Amino acid sequence: MTAEHFVRYEVDDRVAVITLDRPGAANAQTPGILADLDDAWRRAEDDPVVRVIVLTTTGKHFSAGHDMSGNDPSTDERSLAPRRVDGKLVAEDYYDWETRGYLGYARRWRDIPKPSIAAVQGKCIAAGLMLCWPCDLIVAAENAQFSDPVGLLGIMGVEYHAHTWELGARKAKEMLFTAGSVSAEEALRSGMVNHVVPLEQLREFTIALAHRVAQTDPWALRMAKRAVNQTLDTQGFSTAIAACFDIHHLGHTRALAATAGETVVMADLERMKAAGRAGR
């Protein structure tokens, strides 16, 4: 069986466009899809013609986050998912996988020495944020909604805790406390997105912005990006990201311990406890 491919890569003049194309599953991310996305990012990074990278997705929603179905049509030829022992996830293996596979990708994409722009439409849920936040600029459609409801998994947010940096402390807390959505306009006010445009103009506007950025000298672009990212790192961004990843895994480890290796939402855990199938 051949793996299905959900990631497209095109170069338009000096702009690389990476497209996640799995609209039937609201662009949910499997380990195989993330590996394919990472391949596309590397290709854009290595191509001397490419000066700017655009990340876009197809369909109504930007991304529903990680694919929790366990079905990965893109990985049959590669063993990319976290290893299981006797069908159960092992905490330390899970930690290693997410370090490499989730956090690792987001951090690597953030630091690629070329400017990147994400175009976000519809819902951008949980790990959807880990696709757009690593990009340098974000253009949102008017209907964009950003949320991170992984409190439902007993966890403080996705693996890449940029929430506080992107939204400010109070808005980040409200987003995580309520599992609610941040609208495109709210995201604009908080500085999380650069522009809000009508949905039908999203792609055209983003590509035009990319071409405008591509007119700047590549070395100047690289150094400008480095200056801003180094400033954030001096303020503690990367250290905080690493520290909060461990807090994220405290949540996973608690859930795995309570369920002897299953990942479940808290509602399921409560039901399992009531049925005597899970510990405290």
Helices (H), the chain: 31-46, 91-98, 104-111, 129-132, 163-167, 169-178, 184-189, 202-214, 218-234, 237-259, 266-274
**Shortest Å distance, C-beta 159 to Zn ion:** 5
- 8 Å CB contact between 124 and 148: no
State which residue, 120 or 255, has the beta carbon closest to Zn ion: 255
State which residue, 227 or 250, has the beta carbon closest to Zn ion: 250
Encoding tokens for residue 178? 């309520």
State which residue, 140 or 256, has the beta carbon closest to Zn ion: 256
**Shortest Å distance, C-beta 235 to Zn ion:** 25
Run of H or E including 119 = strand 116-120
State which residue, 140 or 175, has the beta carbon closest to Zn ion: 175
**Shortest Å distance, C-beta 151 to Zn ion:** 13
3-class DSSP state of 181: strand
Instruction: Tell me the β-bridge partners of 137.
Output: 117
Binding-site string for Zn ion from residue 143 to residue 182, where x marks contact by CB under 5 A and - marks none: ----------------x-----------------------
**Shortest Å distance, C-beta 118 to Zn ion:** 21
State which residue, 91 or 188, has the beta carbon closest to Zn ion: 91
- 8 Å CB contact between 166 and 160: no
Which residues ranging from 89 to 118 are in contact with Zn ion (CB under 5 A)?
98
Q: How many of the chain's residues bind Zn ion (CB under 5 A)?
A: 2
Beta carbons within 8 Å of 113's beta carbon, 6+ residues apart: 45, 222, 225, 226
The residues that touch Zn ion, with contacts defined as CB under 5 A, are 98, 159
